Chains A and B, each alone.
Chain A
């Protein structure tokens, strides 16, 4: 660290304990960022191994048991140890207080504690993997998980339950912070959309996660004491688990995408030099998604033997929940109109997000349509659909957010050229990996198969080739961000000329975020309306 950048909250002594025990939300955000990066690459490694195995129809590279453990731990890591905390715990943690003009979160110690709880739970699960693995799939379906699996299910589930508590802690913290710590003048409808999405996500975390904890606890109890809630031979019902699990996990899908929508809603206006089109509609649709998300869990159970009438009702609600997402896409597109659009790396990621999210969302119509879902359920179509949303959407948004706020977080700039190359490679690699999977799914290729009939090979090979490109693309930022940390040119307070309170303090921000009193007087996204803005003409 050289003099200039080593200022602000980063400055001072650099002993590990100053970070590990700091309750500064900006430092806790870094603790999360470093651990999540580790998990992302670990989960990614499993994915690459699976894609290599699937390059040929025979199950030759790894055996069935190994393959089953690979996709299980890939799912557990990516969902609970990466996607759920990804944007909220890193960018959200760092930015929420800055964006609302606060010194820190409402409960700084709880924030630090949540990271330790997260680490404890996730390492415990990892430990169970090292001990011999888990082979239930991340969905832990009973009675396989409760009665038949001979793997370390209880340990893995226990870890996930613990991590859930960290989610709840973060959620409570964000909710209270948003309610109580907004700067004078910062009314609800002056909040950046990112804050709205983080707030909605926090609500869902607090309301849904306890159900996950309950259902996984029941599995553990069933395994240890044979209580029989899910055991048909003791009068239990295996489907009860699916109801409980998806009651959490469908809303969790929105935990995993809403913050991404928030990030993109910050980036697009900034690089289009236009206010966000339809701000109120975007804010309200965020809350609508959070609410409707609780009404559609049954769409994961269309072929489970659910009553056909219940199936049709869940199908109906699933179509409804698509609408607020569609509204957002329309609004992002129209924001570009009559703007002064430029294509720095954050914007490339944001535009990539809009495209991939749109095509993932449209695939959602297929699986919401109950008659078609009977065919597509549990096939690669579903795999493609949720990877378009979770990876094409959320991970791309996360990348965009990192590129956008990196100068703020570190006080340094990074190579725009490499940022552009990485964004482009990611887009190509992603589509090459997951587009063929839509075809595979429609053609009938089931999920979670480690070997398959030869007529599927062509598509699997495309997908495996794409995975290699994608892996390269994800590795690139490690290098140029690493370079930036050490040698990057110092960043000005507002390198992108963005609105938003976080840009009105130094880069990196001082320990207490602002050196002056913040009072908000105007609307968000107050970008120049006309071309006569000197900055824009540059």
Chain B
């Protein structure tokens, strides 16, 4: 990756679609821009002061001209919009069967954990041709996961999970940048994505050895933080059983109903008083300040693993 960069390189299934749109826009704007420039230059030269060309007659009436080019630009704008919205909406949801990798952004590094628990920092190995979903969280400020060669970028906003997906289409090593300014070492918050043949990826994973998966880590924390003391089977206090709640509706003491998704689990841990489950006393302590983003990701994964709606 040396020499002069003329483009981002194409290494995902999304790249050709974005390229088509980009280069079409480029051709269109160069054509229109050149046309307008020529118009100005030709008129300026032809009608320069003292030039000997007839200027009488042939006046354009503004009204039809204005209506003409307003509708022409409107139609062009609609066409570009429709194309781009189509490409974009097409790519919102990942196809089934994706590998789900979790990622954590913090000042100033990227941490990743594969489904088998293998962990990496500022580096991510992915297999060729298989959709990869990244579930991203931020420990501190807003960061942005950007892989130019994949045409993907997603801000990682603290306090909420952000997701992105891609299917790599070319073996190689690609830049990972943090695209959202995040403080002192923003420009050092870079890394690389290694796209490997599926067999190589499998043997790479095997060589790393199995680590603790997110859900396993969550289970460990569930005990060490004392959650199980209230939520466990043999608990002395009355607290809701977390098995089976994932992505299912939960009735709140306020009379509302919410879906027990990742954000709900997160809020329950950090701000338990905000949404109290119906029929329980609000005795759960807040864990804000005690638990970090990665641990929250683990607990969310653990609650998910206890079952519910996938």
Contact = CB atoms under 8 A, between A and B. Distances in A.
B36 A358 contact: yes
A280 B63 CA distance: 9
Contact of B21 (A144, A355, A371, A536): A371
B8 A444 contact: yes
B84 A341 contact: no
A144 B49 contact: no
Interface SS majority for chain B: mixed
Given A149-B183, A378-B144, A444-B149, A369 B49 contact: no
Interface in A216-266: 232-239
Interface string B34-61: 0011011001100111100001101110
B155 A144 contact: no
Contacts of A446: 146, 177-179, 187
B2 A455 contact: yes
B110 to A, nearest CB: 14
Given A315-B84, A319-B81, A375-B8, A141 B181 contact: yes
B212 to A, nearest CB: 25
B3 interface: yes
A354 B38 CA distance: 12
Interface string B176-214: 011111111111100000000000000000000000000
B37 A358 contact: yes
Interface stretch (A111-119, A123-131, A328-336, A480-488): A328-336
B242 interface: no
B162 A305 contact: yes
Given A308-B89, A326-B73, A336-B47, A319 B80 contact: yes
A439 B153 CA distance: 18
Contacts of B181: 68, 137, 141, 144, 447-448
A323 B33 CA distance: 15
A359 B179 CA distance: 25
Contacts, number: 263
A337 B53 CA distance: 11
A512 interface: no
A497 to B, nearest CB: 12
Interface string A388-407: 00000000000000000000
Nearest to A307: B92
B159 A237 contact: yes
Nearest to A274: B47
Interface SS majority for chain A: helix
A509 interface: no
A333 B39 contact: yes
Given A237-B159, A372-B21, A330 B69 contact: yes
A349 B238 CA distance: 76
Given A143-B141, A312-B85, A378 B49 contact: no
Nearest to B84: A369
B186 to A, nearest CB: 6
A456 interface: yes
Contact of B180 (A233, A316, A378, A454): A378
Nearest to A144: B141
Given A358-B36, A372-B84, A443-B8, A238 B92 contact: no
Contacts of B280: none
Interface in A410-454: 439-440, 442-454
Contact of B84 (A371, A377, A453, A458): A371
A291 interface: no
Interface centre among B4, B28, B39, B153 (most CB of A within 10 A): B153
A311 B274 contact: no
A477 interface: no
Contacts of B158: 143, 232, 238
A374 B187 contact: no
Given A233-B270, A442-B7, A374 B69 contact: no
A365 B80 contact: yes
B153 A337 contact: no
A59 interface: yes
A122 B180 CA distance: 27
A519 interface: no
A65 interface: yes
A372 B183 CA distance: 26
Contact of B22 (A378, A442, A530): A442
A323 B65 CA distance: 15
B36 to A, nearest CB: 5
Contact of B49 (A312, A340, A359): A340
Interface centre among A144, A323, A440, A450 (most CB of B within 10 A): A144
A280 to B, nearest CB: 7
A281 B59 CA distance: 17
Nearest to B67: A281
Contacts of B162: 305
A377 B148 CA distance: 11
Contacts of B8: 375, 442-444
Interface string B141-172: 11010101101111101111010000000000
24 contacts: A59-B187, A144-B142, A235-B274, A239-B157, A304-B142, A305-B155, A312-B88, A315-B81, A315-B88, A319-B80, A323-B73, A327-B66, A333-B36, A337-B43, A340-B48, A343-B48, A354-B40, A375-B18, A440-B5, A444-B146, A449-B187, A455-B1, A455-B3, A459-B5
